[in-house]
Structure 1
Amino acid sequence: MVGGAASILTLSEPRSLDPAALGNAYATTGLLGNALYGTLMTDDESGEVRYSMAESFTSTDGGATFTLKLRPELRFSDGTPLDAEAVKFNWDRIKDPATGSVNLAEASMIASSEIVDGVTLQVTMAAPAPRYAYSLLASTMNWIASPEALRAGKEAFDRSPVGAGPYRLERWTRQATMDLVRNERYWDAPKPYLDRLTLRAVSDGSQRYNTVLSGGADLAVEGNWANIDKARQAGLPTDVMELGGGVFVAMNTRRAPFDDVRARQAVAAALDLEALNLAVYNGVALPARTLFGESSPFYSDTALQTTDSEKAQRLFDELAREGRPVSFTFTSSPGTENRAIAENIQAQLSSYDNVSVKIKIAEIAELISLRTSHDFDATVSSTFFRDPEPRLSPAFSGDTPANVSGIADQQLTQALDEGRSAPTQEDRRDAYDRVQQRLTALTPVIFTARAAPGVISARDVGGVQQYGLGSLLPEELWIQK
């Protein structure tokens, strides 16, 4: 099982190899970050933290402070030490807004850090966060790059990134392939099991599936429920993480028509999510009827959305009589899934009076700009998680980029805060029951389906293991000879 090479299809190509610029999830560049930089820690199927380059990350005061202990003698691929100083440099850099990291919010939860010795970093939090380990392992903070290499500048770093992961960069041909080779200094020998990886970004779902099916690739990172179902039908191995939350339609509560809760409730009541599943996902997506999956300790069988056409029409008519008919533009990316969601919602609402929907297709860069400026009525977004922290709270409280709907509700924010800081699992469960109740009442978003952080592989591929938000661990992969 040791040796050989694998061709892997990913969902997106990085704009830079700087770990601060990568995204640690299945849909972004989790596999690449894990390959080049390794992991401080991961989690298992039950959600328990598992340590790798870190030996421990502990708190004795309810999350007010933490102590990070590294394994001794860790080395970057160039032979220089990966020590507490390197971790502090990387985390401080992610915390600096000038870096432009996607995980600025997570890094900013740290007020300060102090090097105790070569393998120990003492961390003081801005506010107690008992489950901060989950913020680390599901973010770019899990990846430590050489400070010396980062100081050389972006162009130099992209040509020759220096990490302590199982692989190092051999060649990157942008918009084509990235070739990685075994890092002989990797701490966890005999891993990685494969000698080489060739990564290629393929955004088209049909192309990804057909390439693996025909033997043109050994494995594909996947997020498309229809592809996963086709692979299963064809007898190809698949692996899908079960996460809470999911894909949702965000309604902008900052402006009309969705600044009125009745407009949001009307749209939610009007939609048949089973019909949407059939139209968008061929009926094979896992529905997101509840905020948490059934395996979660926070599961509640209270439905987030219930189809009620009479209620929907009554609310549409009521708003129209007040001179506030529900008319909005659904802004979508060109992606097949998002566009199909927009088109199906437009089609379903066309059967009601006093509601009209237009669709605007925006390229990714424009869509990001519109979200940042809050210049949209409705759009597709997502929040998904194994443990609700750190993902759920930013999605629905505070003035954060993740709060796409802009919902601002004191009871909801208080429940989210209590869920984050509560000392016991029972207290957290009570808090998240209230979160789900408020989300159901306020309806800032409509969940359409669970996310599908998955992998499709050839029959001779083994060792598929994901953590966090579907981030694939390349050092575990092997191919049967």
Structure 2
Amino acid sequence: MDNAREHPDPARPGARADVPVGRIVRTVVPAVAACLVLGACGGGDTAGKDADTSTVAPGSGGTLTVAMASDMRSMDPFGALSNSYTDNSRLNAVYDSLFWHEAKTGKVMPQIGESLTPDPGNASWTLKLKPDVKFSDGTPYDATAVKFTWDEHAAPARKSYQAGTIAAVKATEVVDPTTLKVTLTGPNANFDHIVASNLSFIVSPTAYRKDPAGFARNPVGAGPYTFKEWTTGDHMTFVKNRGYWQGAAKPYADTVVFKVIQDSTQGLETVYSGGADMKVSVNAEDPVRAGQKGLETKTVTIIGGESIYFNTKRAPFDDVRARRAVHLALDADEVNKISFSGNGTPTHSIFPPESPLVDAGTETVQRTDRAQAQRLLDELAAEGKPLDFTYSIPQNANAQRTAEYIMTSLRALRNISVKIAPMPIAAFQTDIVINKNYQAAMFSYYLSDAEPGLYVNLYSTSPNNYLLYANPTVDRNLDQARTTNDPAQRKAAYTAVAAQLKQDAPLWTYQSSVVTAFHRSTVVGMVLSNDGMVLMDRIGLKG
């Protein structure tokens, strides 16, 4: 899950409304991923032109400038958010990908990985790599390199964000340079989705061993670009990998600059004016505003959303009544009006409304009922436990606005006190994601697939369970969904998970999870995966 919030900083989900320029079309994907909006709204220098340039080959040369809402914590795949739009495009530039999720279908697509197939029973899988791929330092990208990277994810000292994901892997065995045998801790019919979402960025073992501490700021991979420089808080620069495995024609641009522009309005205006070529965003209003300015827009809607996370092992939210009281006191529609100017997509579920993973109408949060909220607060106060907590948020203006609405709504009730604690993004990530040192926190998360996303974020023993939530019914159904090939059984399992989440109230999700890429008409070859990753080997500028 991703905690970097954008609105206007990182990272806020959003939605579209009818706009006067161009059009945006939502397509529901009948697969485990999400839906893709193939919206086309012209370019920053020509208004109103519908276009989808994903199949248009760019010209060679030039500098592609990408506006990003936040800087990265690390450029190695252990300390980066590899399954989040905030980091994955930059990681893809340096490392490329083993596999990726196609947004139109939710299918796992090959890249450096050639195939990933299960043995009967789904307890072991065989990974095949394309032959003769090399890292930019000239060393082989082989099965040994994949094993090395995955072993590092599993090492406790590494504190990898993917520690919960890799826990599903019991052992790996190098069969030959292009073949890795993977034995799982238990059957998993969807392990290929896990790899595509969370384990696709592979490091050069030689470069990593030379300088493990420095690798995070001097990464070496097999991607279309090589790392050149990083000015913290300002920009990263990558240059064309002249030894790229796809040949001299790729990548298309000579240089890619990822420019940090935290303010959403400034980011949009920078793209519109030509100071940047594109931006990937989760701001609710960006699709509308970008369309009005004639920018071309692509949007992916996935599992997750903007939420309040409750630390279920720490007072006061170790008591389910406290969590339910907050659910019942707040209104997702009011948040949408106040924080998103009515342009967002309020929700009552972590699943999109059209999701094939759950029964229609399935909700994961409790609807507004302030009278019942007050009864719960009074009950807690009568036991000497009036609700008093700190609400941690990322440090930006729109997060502050949403938090102030939440604080005002809660303070309108008796026996409750809440303080807002704005934090810089890096400190926020450290406290909530790494140390789990919080009572309640604003948290945005984007899951390209239920597997492994829901498993690693909700399973009781997962190190990525930032809620510290534990429920045996949820565990049992997550196991069932992981092991079955039957869509009906998977749907029943996730519907049961949703029902338990609604009852236990470990998080309050109020805004849908939407990732948008908008760009000028000079950008072509735009392919967006269903977790918001731009495929950097395909994008470039018009010839």
TM range (shorter): over 0.9
SS in 2 for 1:105: helix
Flag the 1:273–1:173 CA change in 2: closer, same or farther, 3 A: closer
User: Which residue in 2 is equivalent to 1:342?
Assistant: 403
TM-score between the two structures when normalised by the length of structure 1: 0.93
1:262-292 Cα deviation digits (max 9, x unpaired): 2222221121111111222222222232232
Which residue matches 1:246? 305
The answer to whether the 8 A contact 2:280-2:532 is kept is no
Alpha-carbon distance in 1 for matches of 2:234, 2:426: 21
Q: CA deviation at 1:196?
A: 2.0
Q: Which residue number corresponds to residue 185 of structure 1? A: 243
CA displacement at 1:50 relative to structure 2:
0.6
Q: 1:111 to 1:253 in 2, by over 3 A?
A: same
Given candidates 467, 470, 474, the residue that maps to 2:532 is 470
- In 2 relative to 1, CA 244–288 (structure 1 residues): closer, same or farther, beyond 3 Å? farther
Structure 1 CA distance for aligned equivalents of residues 415 and 171 of structure 2: 54
For residues 259-408 of structure 1, the aligned pairs below 5 Å read 259-299=318-358, 300-303=360-363, 304-368=365-429, 370-371=431-432, 374-408=436-470
1:138–1:468 contact (8 Å) kept in structure 2:
no
Partner Cα separation in structure 2 for residue 375 and residue 479 of structure 1? 44
Distance 1:210 1:412 in 2: 44
Give 1:335 deviation, angstroms.
2.8
Report matched runs for 1:116-127 at 5 Å.
Answer: 116-127=175-186
Which deviates further from its counterpart, 59-68 or 20-29?
20-29
Question: Could you say which residue in structure 2 is the equivalent of 1:423?
Answer: 485
Cα distance in 2 between the residues matched to 1:156 and 1:249: 35
Answering whether residue 230 of structure 2 is matched by residue 169 of structure 1, we say no
Equivalent pair of 1:168/1:180 in contact (CA under 8 Å): yes
Q: 1:401 to 1:334 in 2, by over 3 A?
A: farther
Maintained 8 Å contact 2:324/2:366 = no
Cα distance in 2 for residues equivalent to 1:157 and 1:265: 44
| Equivalent residue letter for 2:406 | I
* SS in structure 2 at match of 1:391: helix
Q: Distance in 1 between matches of 2:421 and 2:77?
A: 33
The equivalent residue for 1:29 is 87
The structure whose residues are more often helix, as a share, is 1
Q: Which residue is equivalent to 1:65?
A: 124
Please report the TM-score for the alignment, with normalisation by the length of structure 2.
0.83
Aligned-residue CA RMSD in angstroms? 2.2
Aligned pair partner of 2:274 in 200, 207, 215: 215
Q: Name the SS of the counterpart of 2:352 in structure 1.
A: coil
The 1:10–1:110 alpha-carbon spacing in structure 2 relative to 1, beyond 3 Å, is same
Query: What's the counterpart of residue 510 of structure 2?
Result: 448
User: Where does residue 27 of structure 2 map in the other structure?
Assistant: none
Residue of structure 2 in register with 1:433 after alignment? 495
3-state SS, counterpart of residue 481 of structure 2 = helix
Contact 2:136/2:222 (<8 A) preserved:
yes
Identity, % of aligned positions: 34
- 1:211 Cα offset (Å): 0.8
The DSSP-based 3-state class of the residue aligned with 1:381 is: strand
* Aligned position for 2:148: 89
SS at match of 1:466: coil
1:400 offset after TM fit, Å?
3.6
Measured after TM superposition, the shift of residue 54 of structure 1 is 0.9
Q: In 2, are the aligned partners of 1:7 and 1:218 still within 8 Å (CA)?
A: yes
Is 1:2 equivalent to 2:59 in the alignment? yes
Q: 2:307–2:511: 8 Å Cα contact kept in structure 1?
A: yes
CA contact (8 A) 2:172 2:182 kept: yes
Letter in 1 for 2:308: V
**Mapped partners of 2:306, 2:78: distance in 1:** 25
Residue of structure 1 aligned with 2:100, choices 25, 37, 42: 42
Aligned counterpart for 1:232 among listed residues 287, 291, 295? 291
Does structure 1 retain, via aligned residues, the 8 Å contact 2:298–2:518?
A: yes
Is the 1:249–1:380 Cα contact (8 Å) retained in structure 2?
A: yes
Displacement of 1:366: 4.5
Tell me how far 1:147 sits from its aligned partner.
1.4
What amino acid is the match of 2:386? P
Structure 1: distance between partners of 2:217 and 2:496: 49
User: Hey, what's the Cα distance between the residues in 1 that align with 2:517 and 2:476?
Assistant: 37
Q: 1:150 corresponds to which residue?
A: 208
Q: In structure 2, do the counterparts of structure 1 residues 80 and 395 end up closer, same or farther at CA, with 3 Å as the change threshold?
A: closer
User: How big is each residue's C-alpha offset from its partner over 1:109-157, in whole Å with a ceiling of 9 and x where there is no partner?
Assistant: 2111111111111111122222122222222x21122211111104664
The question of whether the paired residues in 1 share the 8 Å contact of 2:302 and 2:530 is answered with: no
CA distance in 1: counterparts of 2:379 and 2:153, whole angstroms: 49
SS of corresponding position for 1:93: helix
Asked if 1 retains the 8 angstrom alpha-carbon contact of 2:95 and 2:221, the reply is: yes
8 Å CA contact retained: 1:26, 1:454:
no
Question: Structure 1 counterpart of 2:81, which letter?
Answer: G
* In structure 2, C-alpha distance between the alignment counterparts of 1:368 and 1:157, rounded to whole Å: 20
Aligned to 1:74, the other structure's residue is in SS state coil
Q: Does the CA-based 8 Å contact 1:36-1:165 persist in structure 2?
A: yes
Q: Deviations over 1:167-208 (max 9, x none)?
A: 122344444333222223323343322222122222222221
Change (3 A) 1:123 1:333: same
Structure having greater relative contact order (Cα 8 Å, sep ≥ 6): 2
Amino acid at match of 1:447: T
Letter of the 1:413 partner, please give it: D
Residue aligning to 1:258:
317
**Gap regions ≥5 residues in structure 1:** none
Q: 1:15 to 1:412 in 2, by over 3 A?
A: closer
Segments of 5+ residues of structure 2 without an aligned counterpart are 1-57
After TM superposition, give the deviation of residue 15 of structure 1 in Å.
4.1
In 2, the alpha carbon distance for the partners of 1:398 and 1:467 equals: 29
Q: Report the AA paired with residue 414 of structure 2.
A: D
Residue 538 of structure 2 is aligned to residue 479 of structure 1: no
Shift of 1:365: 4.9
Q: Measure, in 2, the Cα distance between the counterparts of 1:324 and 1:157.
A: 48
- The whole-number CA distance in structure 2 between the counterparts of 1:420 and 1:177 is 39
Q: What residue is the counterpart of 1:459 in the other structure?
A: 521
Pairwise CA distance, 1:42: 0.8
The 4+ residue runs of structure 1 with deviation greater than 6 A are: none
Q: Distance in 1 between matches of 2:334 and 2:525?
A: 36
Instruction: Show CA shifts across 1:334-386 (max 9, x none).
Output: 13343333211111122222322222233445444543555432111233323
Q: Per the alignment, do residues 162 and 409 of structure 1 end up closer, same or farther by CA in structure 2, a change over 3 Å counting?
A: closer
Residues paired across the two proteins, number: 480
Q: CA deviation at 1:253?
A: 2.2
Residue 115 of structure 1 corresponds to 174
CA contact (8 A) 2:165 2:456 kept: no
1:51 pairs with 93, 96, 110, which one? 110
> Residue 175 of structure 2 aligns to a residue in which SS?
strand
